[in-house]
Amino acid sequence: MIRMLSSLGVARAAGPLRAGCRLLTTGAGGARGEAEVEVERHTGEDQGIVTLSLNRPRARNALSRSLVEQLRARLDELRGDGAARVVVLRSRVAGVFCAGADLKERATMTPGEVERFLHSMRTAFVELERLPQPTIAALDGAALGGGLELSLCCDLRVAGPRAVLGLPETSLAIIPGAGGTQRLTRLVGPSRAKALVFTARRFGAQPALTMGVVNDAVEGGAEGTGADEAAYGRALEWAREILPNGPVAVRMAKRAIDCAGAVDPATGLDVEQLCYARVIPTQDRLEGLRAFKEKRRPVYTGQ
């Protein structure tokens, strides 16, 4: 919170693409050189949308040391990327978003190694949560344990028709350890969070929407996509709605909203005022006024 106030005081190869749009892909190699986390920068009309893809098919995107390290590296790149306006987090593995922690790898760790890994994973999740850009998780398939916790770090979540969500940790005699107890509670309330965690219940897209775990649920594959990509297609639709808006304003709005649940109302209003002060001197604000006067669509540059 102190960091937030201080900073405010200082002045895709698959999935639906628009015509004329393409993807530029970069990745990070794991222990054997595989890119388990890829960054895809959209071009054309979708320029400004970035897709962050998990791609560890042999382990259903299980959260290993390597995947977490790669995720942190990609997030570090995106944090300072002014051209990235919206980030969509998805899986490239059919039928799964993320199956949670890599329990096979975990079984080989000493207690000290487990604690260090959990610290690294929690840090990665906080880094995702604190990305300045709006983030959208596309849940096509299973998002269990750490996989659901990962998605809870995003601003918005879309569930596809084959989504299976849940925090099954208590069935393994542990508890959600990467922020799940905290983020889920803030999202759905303590009573509902307790019910889901105590029972280790798994649930689909529509119950997730009803409970407020996700913002949108896709009942079938969108046009031009299969059921395994339905959530990703809908997530891109959300991203395209956000994309034309002022990028500085969107980032400041995210910061103000994130602060709302963590401070008292008076402090929250102060933070909102500070966030508003950041947009006043921007060229985008003047462009918005000109476009409104001239009855045209504004063209924002993030300046």
- Whether 219 is a known active-site residue: answer no
- Could you say which of 28, 35, 101, 249 is catalytic? 101
Sign of the torsion formed by the C-alpha atoms of 190, 195, 201 and 202:
negative
115 catalytic residue (yes or no)? no
Based on the residue annotation, tell me whether 34 is a catalytic residue of this protein: no
Structure tokens at 196: 């889901």
Residue 256 annotated in active site: no
Gap between the Cα atoms of 251 and 13, Å rounded: 28
Residues 6+ apart with CB under 8 A from 180: 145, 146, 148, 149, 152, 167, 169, 197
Give the Å distances, CA to CA, from 96 to 29, 56, 123, 153, 261.
21, 10, 23, 18, 31
Catalytic residue among 40, 169, 229, 272: 169
3-state secondary structure 216-285: EECCCCCCCCCHHHHHHHHHHHHHHHHCCCCHHHHHHHHHHHHHHCCCCHHHHHHHHHHHHHHHCCCHHH
Catalytic residue of the set 48, 145, 146, 221: 146
Whole-angstrom distance, CA of residue 71 vs CA of residue 68:
5
Catalytic residue among 149, 159, 166, 288: 149
Question: Residue 149 in contact with residue 167, Cβ under 8 Å?
Answer: yes
**Is 145 strand, coil or helix?**
coil
- The DSSP 8-state label assigned to residue 162 in this structure reads T
The length of the chain is 303
How far, in whole angstroms, is CA 41 from its chain's centroid? 16
Q: Cite the active site residues.
A: 101, 146, 149, 169
